[in-house]
A = this chain, B = another copy of it.
Amino acid sequence: MPDNPSLIERCEVRERLFEGHFLQAWRDTVRLPDGSQATREYLVHPGAVVIVPLLEGSDGHYRVVLERQFRYPVGQVMIELPAGKLDAGEDPLPCARRELLEETGYSAAQWARAGQMHLAIAYSTEVIHIYFARGLTAGQRQLDAGEFLEVFTATPEELMTWCRQGQVTDAKTLACALWLHNVLSGAWPLDWQVSPSTDTP
């Protein structure tokens, strides 16, 4: 349905609030639906990917590849799915392949795009593209300098229990758990594609 015009805000002035090494912030002066003015401060983010990597166990059931990573802003080691930012000009699927390999060492024979999420709509432009990966082959991970994380696997049931009990509180991982639950139940079937990277010698 078309957006209600009585909700829309329009930019009138745009000024850079600051440019950090990592964060880029803007402050816009906007015209509100009632004609009054307000300011909106927000981060500009290049976009990101998150991957739900499914490892076929010897019992025929899937295990999910997860990470433990210290996240400085929240001061905790977080359980989360592999994820990472888009490089300049990078498409989401190549980014997903790159991040999965770099962080976990896995390459996937099949990929499926599930959807996308907007992470922090009050103050960030960030959109995260959600991918599922299966047919995993283990290899050597290639962490960035200054990147420290542990890779481990869990059953989908374990992941759901951790979401319920509070061991998993990362919003992108919780959102992907909704996808995982519905994909595994058959309610939300995916359109799996053979990865082009596996076609080359």
Identify the A interface with B (CB < 8 A). Answer: 3-4, 6-9, 17-18, 20-23, 25, 27-28, 30, 32-34, 36, 38-43, 68-74, 76-78, 80, 115-128, 146, 148-150, 160, 163-164, 166, 169-172, 174-175, 177-178, 181-182, 188
Contacts and interface: CB of A to CB of B under 8 A. Distances in A.
A129 to B, nearest CB: 11
Contacts of A23: 17, 25, 41-43, 123
A105 to B, nearest CB: 18
Contacts of A77: 3-4, 7-8
Given A6-B148, A40-B72, A41-B23, A188 B171 contact: no
Given A18-B25, A41-B23, A121 B7 contact: no
A124 B178 contact: no
Given A6-B148, A41-B21, A170 B118 contact: yes
Nearest to A2: B77
A58 to B, nearest CB: 25
A74 B125 contact: yes
B121 A120 contact: no
Given A25-B25, A68-B4, A175-B174, A80 B164 contact: no
B8 A70 contact: yes
